[in-house]
Structures are given as structure tokens and as C-alpha cells.
Chains A and B, each alone.
Chain A
């Protein structure tokens, strides 16, 4: 992890309130692993005060760049959504534990909900680049077709790909976890990686436990320091039956789904 600066070189709106930002920052491009995030200071001033964490969506080693997919929902993300190319931001990164990628060729299922697609695009890319490439199945859910952000970037990195929308405007009508249910029933899945709203992740975890498929999830939490000092970003986890809190910025953001105390995970977290 290092403190560095990144120059915004491109900003593109990819859905209502959703933006794809490209930054040039060679050390982050080189060091970031799928699932890790950067902790970005959106202003030199005091408003907003705290940095904002964003999962790396992909890297381009030859250009020394990386991309972030952001949803402009609050003060910090709205500043980023309006930033102009050439703007330079302080950032801390790469932060956190990446997804533990398999050594050999496995059948890997990726479950993305909304803006949670970002780290899974990076995962899919690395899974296909391995000496023994994995067979990658991608499932992507969103409210409507418009919100299937960067679906092309995701689908082109997958061997199989399916979408679900709540209104049926693209793919299956329903939830992405309905697709997961069918896919797990078919069997053959060696592991599952997921990122999205807490309610979705809890259901993914439940299904994977039921089918005894190893599953890892990337979770979000309000965060202050990003280095493990403030203990603000913890989530409830279970260890040998007893509950304790672990830091999203250090032990996470990727956790084994079985480790998380889903009953204690509040769906309110989704409004972060």
C-alpha cells in the first residue's frame, strides 16, 4: 500500500448516475489485485473530509492506468462525477485483501449486482489470463437494462454470461440470485465470487452454503482511515461460534462468505 497521486484522464457516463473513470497511476496499475480498492481523496479541502473507497475495475499495464466505476450518490461521488480530465487526486492503495484466485483451471461463477460488477470484471480478466485459464460464468443483475453498467466489459471476459433485471428489460425478469440458483443446481461450479448489495450477497452466501460451494464476497462499509486504525469499517463475523468484528479495509473487503455473520449484517449498509 502506498500514498500516491493519480490523474483523471477520462470520464464517461455509463448509466444514469454511473460514471467510468480512468486514472493514470502506474504503481497502482502494477500492484492492484482483483478485489482490492483505492482510497481516494476527492478534495484537498475539508468538505467532504474523509476519503472514499472504490474497488478497482481493471488495469491497463501498458498505459499504467486503472478504472473505477462510481455511482454518484453522495457528496464525494458527485464531486468525482463532475471532475474534469487532468484533475489530480491523492489516493491510498492498493488496499485490502484480493479475491483468492485458484491455482488451477476451475469453473468459477461470478455474481454481480449493480455497481458491484466492478471488481468482478477485474477478477474475470485475471482468471482468463492464468496459465491454466478458468471457465468463467458471469451473472449480472440490476434494476433495469440501463443499470447493467459495463456489461460488455464483463461479458467479453466470461465464457458464459447471463443477466437479470427486476423489470425484465434485459435478460431474465427477476433477481440475479434466481439465475444463481439454477446455475448451482446444474452443478460443476467450483467456486463463487460475488459483489453487490448486502441482501444479494446474503442470498448468494445462503445458496452456496446449501450447495457446499466455496464462496467469497466483496463487501462495502462506511470507512474513515482505510489502513485499519479507526475500526470504523468493521463487519460482524463468526469465528468458532463467537461473534467478532473484522475490518473491511484490512481483513476485507473480500471475505469468505461463511465467515460473515449475515444475520447481523444490516441491509441498511446498502445506503452507504
Chain B
């Protein structure tokens, strides 16, 4: 059970409210080489059972991450997955290279799916050849476990998944947000300054479950499923669709202890159904389909 990138900051924001040590890991807010100010306001807009966001990778940059954020994160004694993001191929590679000898990190999550930046991010996640090239380049400079975070804003998610695996990705996480938009009808303008934003929350869950299912049929690497998980039942849908792990995202904003409640619910489900390990259920729906 992880918490998804961008929804749990660098851990410290939730430390006084959540027993972080119960989590299976933290995916950090996107880290870029240089500090980024992020997008202008408005950055968020509530939608039915969801929200749009266009934060724009606001983060203090790699150096501050290593000097200030990482030491704090380590105190929680949970695996740390650093979400790395760049505008160019060279930035991803340099980030990965500079994080390679950082032993406190358990894995890198390659962000090729953020829809809210002008350059980089999603650009690398919509074409299989670009995905494979970028993952391959990062693979060459790091021995860390490499997770590629996939976008739902593609024609064929299986092709991107296969490209990431071909490039050397050890695992895949999906889905990032769906590109969406809202209009502020009083102002007669886009609700977000960025015009479009990423849709997250329970509203996107069926899309995310479907993509988890498709990717599970296309590749053999572990999948971290996410997209609108708020309850144990939601998490079980992803697991049975083929996920080996799951992440809670937007629900953290609504209820800081959401991920812990999901853990409790999964334990309860396993007890009730005599399941020895939760991963015994991974992909269960594939064999059970009619």
C-alpha cells in the first residue's frame, strides 16, 4: 500500500496526522533538477467525485530534496520512491544518475505522464518509441528499481507499457491523471489558469481499473494500481485486475488516514475470505472471468 506521488508531499505534511510507518511506501511529489515555482492560480477545481489539478511540478529541486526532504522522509522508516520528472531526456537521465548512489531510496518512479507542464512529462509517455528510449537511457544510469508511471491519455496503454518494459522498467504504476477541463461560467473562462488539468479521484476509477486489466494482460512486470482508490473494495478491484500493489492518491486530501483505512479493510477482507496473502489475489479476476 503506497501513497501516490503529488498527494502526500514529502511525508512531513502528514506526519502529525498519520502513522506513516504503516504504509508500504511513499511516492514523493515530483522532483526536478532545478526548483520549480509551479503554475499560476487557479490550480485546482472540484468536479463530481473528483478534482482537476494543474500544479505544474512545484518543488524545491533535487538539492533541497536531498539535503532537507530526504533526511526527514527517512525517519518514517518506509520505502521511499522518488518521482523524477524533467523537461528533457537529459534532465531525466541526470536526475536518475545523481540519485543512483543515494542508498536511502528504494525506487525511482519515472514521471512520463504529468499533463500539466509545457515540456516533458506526458510528452514522453504518449509514443512507445519515446517511452522506450527514455526508460532505456535512465536504465543505463541507475541500479535502483525503476518504475514507470503511465498516462491514461493514450490510444493504447498496452503499447506504452510494453515499451517501458522493453526499455528496462522493473515495474509500472498506473494511472496518472486524465486530462480534463472545466469552465468557470461566471467568469466565462477556463476554471484553471493552465486551461486544462489532470482529473483524479473516484470519478476516474473505472478507467484506471480497465487500464490495469489491459496492462496486466500485456506485460509480466509488477503493476502498482491507482486512480480513485478510497476504500478497500476499490483497492481490491485493482488487485484483482492485476495489480501487485496499490496507491491511494486524491483520497489522502479528503481523509489523511485514507490509506490506513484501506489497509485495515484489506486485512479484514483477507481474514473473512481466508486469503493468506493479499498478493494471492493479484490478477484473480483474469482467471475468474466468464
Contacts and interface: CB of A to CB of B under 8 A. Distances in A.
Interface of A: 1-3, 41, 46-51, 90, 92, 221-236, 243-245, 250, 264, 266, 268-269, 271
B13 interface: yes
Contacts of A243: 37
A49 B58 contact: no
A233 B51 CA distance: 13
A264 B202 CA distance: 33
B214 to A, nearest CB: 25
Interface in B41-71: 41-46, 48-51, 53, 55, 58
A41 B255 CA distance: 9
B238 interface: no
Given A229-B252, A230-B253, A224 B44 contact: yes
A271 to B, nearest CB: 6
B24 interface: no
A250 B16 CA distance: 14
Interface of A is mostly: loop
B106 to A, nearest CB: 20
B261 to A, nearest CB: 12
5 contacts: A3-B256, A224-B253, A228-B13, A232-B43, A245-B58
A227 B17 contact: yes
Given A227-B17, A234-B58, A222 B44 contact: yes
A268 B253 CA distance: 24
Interface string B190-202: 0000000000011
A222 B45 contact: yes
A227 B258 CA distance: 14
B44 A46 contact: no
Nearest to B14: A227
Considering the complex of A and B, which 6 residue pairs feature the smallest CB-CB distances, nearest first? A229-B9, A232-B44, A225-B253, A229-B13, A46-B49, A228-B13
Contacts of A51: 253-254
Interface in B205-227: none
A3 B43 contact: no
A231 B55 contact: yes
Contact of B43 (A50, A226, A234, A268): A234
B6 interface: yes
Nearest to B53: A232
Given A49-B201, A224-B51, A230 B44 contact: yes
A49 B248 CA distance: 15
Contacts of A264: 40
A197 to B, nearest CB: 15
Contacts of A234: 38, 41, 43, 58
Interface residues of B, number: 38
B22 to A, nearest CB: 15
A49 B37 contact: no
Contacts of A47: 48-49
A48 B46 contact: yes
A38 B51 CA distance: 21
A49 B204 CA distance: 13
B202 A227 contact: no
A132 to B, nearest CB: 33
Contact of B9 (A48, A90, A228, A235): A228
Contacts of B43: 222, 231-232, 234
B7 A230 contact: yes
A139 B160 CA distance: 61
Nearest to B257: A3
Given A47-B48, A228-B13, A235 B254 contact: no
Nearest to B3: A229
Contacts of B53: 224, 230, 232
A223 B255 CA distance: 14
Nearest to B191: A222
B124 interface: no
A52 to B, nearest CB: 10
Interface in B136-164: none
Contacts of A1: 16-17
B92 interface: no
Interface string B245-273: 00000101111110000000000000000
A1 B16 CA distance: 7
Contacts of A3: 17, 256-257
Given A1-B17, A50-B51, A92-B256, 8 more contacts: A2-B16, A46-B49, A46-B201, A49-B50, A225-B7, A229-B13, A229-B252, A271-B184
Contact of A50 (B16, B46, B58): B46
B51 A49 contact: yes
B41 A229 contact: no
Contacts of A268: 42, 184, 187
A202 to B, nearest CB: 15
A232 B53 CA distance: 7
A3 B255 CA distance: 9
Nearest to A222: B44
